């Protein structure tokens, strides 16, 4: 009975660590071996490998071993999946802003109507 973490959970958790974000950024520029990836970091290899593993199980990174060197590359799918999430939220958010703006416009119109009682039918109860 596994915990069944959702893919998004794993992707965001993976990206919450600066080391792992740096790895992803590095891999955006092209594939690399574990050693090359680890080089800039002041960290023991086993610790570093854990980060690689987290990235792999999140689906952000793929790797395969040939001979004694493991080569890693980015799998853009997971990255795009996460980006989509933001865009969906933004769409909802902006739809709401639009509705809000429309509401403000309606208020303005009503206030203008209240200020200038002549000419148009007077609304009752308007302050």
Residue with smaller CB distance to DNA, 16 or 80: 16
> φ and ψ at 69, to 5 degrees?
-115, 135
Alpha carbon 60 to its chain's center: 13
Residues near its own copies (CB under 8 A) are 6, 8-10, 12-13, 15-18, 21, 24-25, 28-30, 74, 76, 79-80, 82-83, 85-87, 89-90, 92-93, 96
Dist CA 57 CA 12 (whole Å): 12
Q: Which is nearer to its own copies, 15 or 113 (CB)?
A: 15
Binding mask 1-30 for DNA (x = CB under 7 A): --x---------x--xx-x-----------
Look at strands 32-33 and 69-74 and give their pairing: antiparallel
Supply the minimum distance, in Å, between the C-beta of residue 73 and DNA.
13
State the Cα–Cα distance between residues 87 and 89, nearest whole angstrom: 5
Distance of CA 50 to the CA centre of its chain: 23
Nearer to DNA, 7 or 65 (CB): 65
Q: Which two tokens stand for residue 77?
A: 């799918």
- Tokens 């998004």 sit at which residue? 8
Rule CB under 7 A: say whether 73 interacts with DNA.
no
Quick one: 27 or 38, whose CB is closer to DNA? 38
**Rg for the chain, CA atoms, rounded:** 27
Binding site for DNA (CB under 7 A): 3, 13, 16-17, 19, 33-35, 38, 42-52, 54, 65, 67-70
């Amino acid at each position: 009975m596994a915990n069944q973490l959702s893919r998004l959970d794993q992707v965001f958790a993976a990206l919450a660590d600066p080391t792992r974000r740096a790895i992803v950024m590095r891999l955006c520029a092209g594939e690399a071996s574990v050693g090359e990836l680890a080089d800039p970091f002041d960290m023991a290899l086993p610790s570093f490998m854990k980060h690689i593993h987290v990235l792999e199980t999140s689906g952000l990174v793929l790797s395969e071993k040939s001979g004694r060197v493991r080569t890693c590359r980015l799998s853009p799918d997971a990255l795009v999946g996460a980006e989509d999430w933001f865009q969906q939220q933004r769409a909802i958010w902006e739809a709401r802003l639009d509705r809000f703006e429309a509401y403000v416009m309606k208020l303005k119109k009503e206030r203008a109507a209240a200020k200038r009682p002549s000419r148009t039918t007077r609304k009752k109860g308007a302050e």
